[in-house]
């Protein structure tokens, strides 16, 4: 099934100059960029993106740190499209906690901080990217970050291999 998903290169990925490397991981896999932009995130957008669901999983203090972190600097928002894009992108990105991310994934190759370390230091886990967790979240997040006019449809060389 052809799906769309959202990836954000967070401020730590932008600051470290990893945007091109991160994008190339998806393109080499045959996942197509159909929307991309640099955004300076305001608090309102941060609150809509980091919903209270994160509070249930990791606590309100983590949600606040994530919101403070994402408004701190620029973010690259990317809408990707491909076969089983949500699942494939999540595999490329790696586990949310960098300490658990396998080598060969974006987080496994470029980050290593654990939840425990971040909690002890009262910092956010710098894990470079956000990737939608499932199809429903992807739809919601794409509409939050992109208007329909900012998303494009086109044929790529990979499309001839997708029947």
Active site residues: 130
Contacts of 7 (CB under 8 A, 6+ apart): 22, 26, 77, 78, 80, 89, 93, 129, 130, 131, 132
- The first and second tokens of residue 25, run together, are 């991981």
CA proximity to 93, closest of 29, 17, 3, 152? 29
Residues 141, 6: contact at Cβ < 8 Å? yes
Residues 81, 2: contact at Cβ < 8 Å? yes
Helical (H) or strand (E) element with 2? strand 2-9
- The first and second tokens of residue 132, run together, are 């939608």
CA terminus-to-terminus distance, the chain? 10
CA distance 84 to 1: 6
């Amino acid at each position: 099934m052809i799906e769309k998903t959202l990836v954000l290169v967070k401020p730590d990925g932008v600051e470290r100059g990893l945007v091109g490397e991160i994008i190339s991981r998806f393109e080499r896999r045959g996942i197509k960029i159909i929307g991309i932009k640099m955004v300076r995130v305001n608090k309102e957008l941060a609150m809509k993106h980091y919903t209270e669901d994160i509070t249930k999983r990791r606590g309100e203090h983590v949600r606040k740190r994530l919101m403070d972190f994402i408004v701190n600097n620029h973010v690259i928002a990317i809408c990707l499209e491909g076969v089983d894009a949500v699942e494939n992108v999540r595999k490329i990105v790696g586990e949310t906690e960098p300490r658990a991310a396998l080598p060969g994934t974006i987080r496994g190759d470029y980050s290593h901080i654990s939840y425990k370390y971040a909690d002890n230091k009262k910092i956010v886990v710098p894990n470079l990217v956000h990737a939608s967790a499932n199809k429903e979240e992807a739809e919601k997040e794409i509409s939050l970050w992109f208007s329909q006019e900012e998303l494009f449809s086109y044929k790529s060389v990979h499309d001839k291999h997708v029947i």
